Amino acid sequence: MDSPVTTRLSEQLREKIEESIVTGAYAPGTRLEEIDLAEMHGVSRTPIREALIQLEAVGFISKRPRKGWEVTAIPAPRLCEMFDVMAEMEAMCGRLAARRATDVEQRRIRLTHQACQRAKEANDPAEYYRLNEVFHLAIYDASHNAFLIEQASALHRRLRPYRRLQLRVRNRMHTSFNEHEAIVQAIEAGQGDVASDLLRAHVVVQGERFTDLVSSLESLVSPKLSVVA
């Protein structure tokens, strides 16, 4: 039924757990106990442990001396740093995409952008959010640098639970769309430096958006706090 050579419980478990983190099911700060996870997935501790070790190596979780594993809660300042790096990587993708994108890839970017427009006009933030990811990934792909694509995608995924919050910001969807339009034009015109600068500005977290980010961070972590307060 499923792939026969996918022998590797620990890999499948890593994907499952990572998915739970990325989607926010396991919020930052959540404790992960090996035995619980093992029972939950009906396996022994060993493959669970191996999955957790992989997740730790990529920074998704961290191990506290005697406290078990914990979903990494990224502090706001570090999150800004990560968005800065993300911005730079996207800028690089954009520069390369403007130089290297094939006709098919250009068309794919433009089409995804138009789909974003429909989602915007339908005032459907969820759909816009989904298409926004497709849009950015399309630009990554057009860079024709496999390593860059991997790195950018990984960081994109890492930041996913935090980016989702950004769209709640007032008018973000419209602003985002307008920025996309300019980016697409720059790529189509082959203007690498322009696309690069636009993408950097588009992704980076500046000014008031930083405050939004910080405040929305609080809605992610331990809900019990809100009960106390």
Partner DNA sequence: GATTCTTTTTGTGTATACAGAAAACTGACT
Partner DNA sequence: AGTCAGTTTTCTGTATACACAAAAAGAATC
Binding residues for DNA (CB under 7 A): 5, 7-10, 33-35, 43-47, 49-50, 63, 65-69
The three-class DSSP label of residue 24 is: coil
Residues in a beta bridge with 63: 69
Q: Does 146 bind a copy of itself (CB under 8 A)?
A: yes
45 touches, from DNA, a copy of itself, none (C-beta below 5 to 8 Å by class): DNA
Q: Which of 41, 49, 99, 160 binds a copy of itself (CB under 8 A)?
A: 49
Q: Closer to DNA at the Cβ: 33 or 81?
A: 33
CA angle, 148 as apex, 7 and 87 as ends, to 5°? Answer: 120
d(CA 142, CA 188): 12
- Least gap, CB of 44 to a copy of itself (angstroms): 13
- Least gap, CB of 16 to a copy of itself (angstroms): 16
Q: Does 50 bind a copy of itself (CB under 8 A)?
A: yes
Both tokens assigned to 131: 């298409």
**Angstrom distances, CA of residue 118 to CA of 49, 97, 181:** 44, 24, 13
Q: Which of 92, 183, 198, 203 binds a copy of itself (CB under 8 A)?
A: 92
The site string for a copy of itself over 58-77 (x = CB under 8 A, - otherwise) reads x------x------------
For residue 82, what are the contacts with CB-CB under 8 A and spacing of at least 6?
74, 155, 158, 159
- Least gap, CB of 18 to DNA (angstroms): 16
**Angstrom distances, CA of residue 12 to CA of 15, 43, 125, 151, 175:** 5, 12, 31, 21, 38
Q: How many residues form the binding site for a copy of itself (CB under 8 A)?
A: 23
**Angstrom distances, CA of residue 149 to CA of 73, 102, 122:** 25, 16, 31
d(CA 83, CA 19): 21
Q: Does 88 bind a copy of itself (CB under 8 A)?
A: yes
Q: Does 5 bind a copy of itself (CB under 8 A)?
A: yes
Q: Which residues in this chain contact a copy of itself in the complex, by CB under 8 A?
A: 5, 10, 49-50, 53-54, 56-58, 65, 78, 81-82, 84-85, 88-89, 92, 145-148, 151
